[in-house]
Amino acid sequence: MALILAPMEGLLDFVLRDVLTRVGGIDRCVSEFIRITDTLLPERVFVRVVPELLSGGRTAAGVPVRPQLLGSDPACLADNAARVAGMGADGVDLNFGCPAKVVNRHGGGAALLQDPDLLFAIVKAVRDAVPAAQMVSAKMRLGFHDDSRAEECALALQEGGAGEIVVHARTRADGYRPPAYWHRIADIRARIHTPLIANGEIWSAEDAQRCRLESGCDTLMLGRGMVSNPGLAREIRAGTAFAAVPGHPTLAAHPPALDWTGVQEHLGHFWHLVRSRLEARQQAGRLKQWLNFLRRHYPPAQQAYERLKTEIDVRVFDAWISAQPLTAKTN
């Protein structure tokens, strides 16, 4: 049983990974994708996206981060996978689910679900290049235009050597529109033996329980739900049969739900990381972006977002953060 933090391009970067894994309840993270075209990338490129590689491949809270690669050339992906695996990650993840038009036009992400033979070739090449002790996992959607080849695609990933498969229970055509078709993951489970991880539309502990029942998966991947409610993983663990495993950070000292005061503490740390690690032109937008997600779950975040949404001067954000209770305790 595990809860995994999803890869989300332009949102779930190393800053939010640091903050959300400090909150607790997450067992592993997958990075936002690293685009592979026709070259062997230097190590600095991997470090730019996954700076945790400089710290044993783990966040400050000790949670492993698995780099994710996106591309369509088996040999080039294999070379890059071998390089990043040699940098200390616990494994390599492959992206077969990105729905972005610019990615799909170049034959990457979910577009590959139209060619199961190429899925197989990519996974096999990467599996052969990565040391056997390290995991090669893959993330897919149910399909591109429709879900008629979902089982065929999952079988191709399995036969190529994927040790885990995350299934985002929507097609590329579905985008992020609800619902997620969790029952189709159960259909895939009936055809393959590779461990499956369910993903999509998990916004609450109740959603998590329904997803487990409909998909048959114990392991779940959390994305927008975790960004909107940073205490979600703790709530899921408290409200279901998820048990702490040896060595897993105990949640006993923390109430499952995270109230707004608790969020304010983490906002302080988030802003510290943004100000110290990101370019000046990105800083104001990153705080507004997270407040935009938080307002789905926290009314005070709505008020803050309305106040700050047109601001661009980081000094205004500095002042707002300084006025929040308890932020001085962050480090």
Task: Read off the DSSP letter of residue 64.
Answer: B
d(CA 112, CA 201): 23
76 is catalytic: no
Spell 150-184 as b/e; 16+ CB within 10 A means b.
bbebbbbbbebbbbbbbbbbbbbebeeeeebbbeb
Q: Are strands 220-222 and 164-168 parallel, antiparallel or unpaired?
A: unpaired
DSSP strand E in 118-201: where?
135-141, 164-168, 196-199
d(CA 37, CA 261): 44
Contacting residues for 31 by C-beta, under 8 A, at least 6 apart: 7, 14, 17, 49, 50, 65, 66, 67, 68, 93
How far, CA to CA in Å, does 85 sit from each of 56, 99, 102, 204, 311? 12, 26, 27, 34, 41
Nearest to 85, CA basis, from 26, 127, 37? 127
d(CA 101, CA 195): 29
For the chain, the first-to-last Cα distance in angstroms comes to 31
Tokens matching residue 113: 């679900």
d(CA 238, CA 212): 15
* Catalytic residue from among 29, 76, 98, 211: 98
Task: Read off the DSSP letter of residue 307.
Answer: H
DSSP strand E in 7-134: where?
28-35, 65-70, 91-96
Using the structure block, give the residue that is written with the tokens 């989300």. Answer: 8
Task: Read off the DSSP letter of residue 86.
Answer: T
Catalytic residues: 98
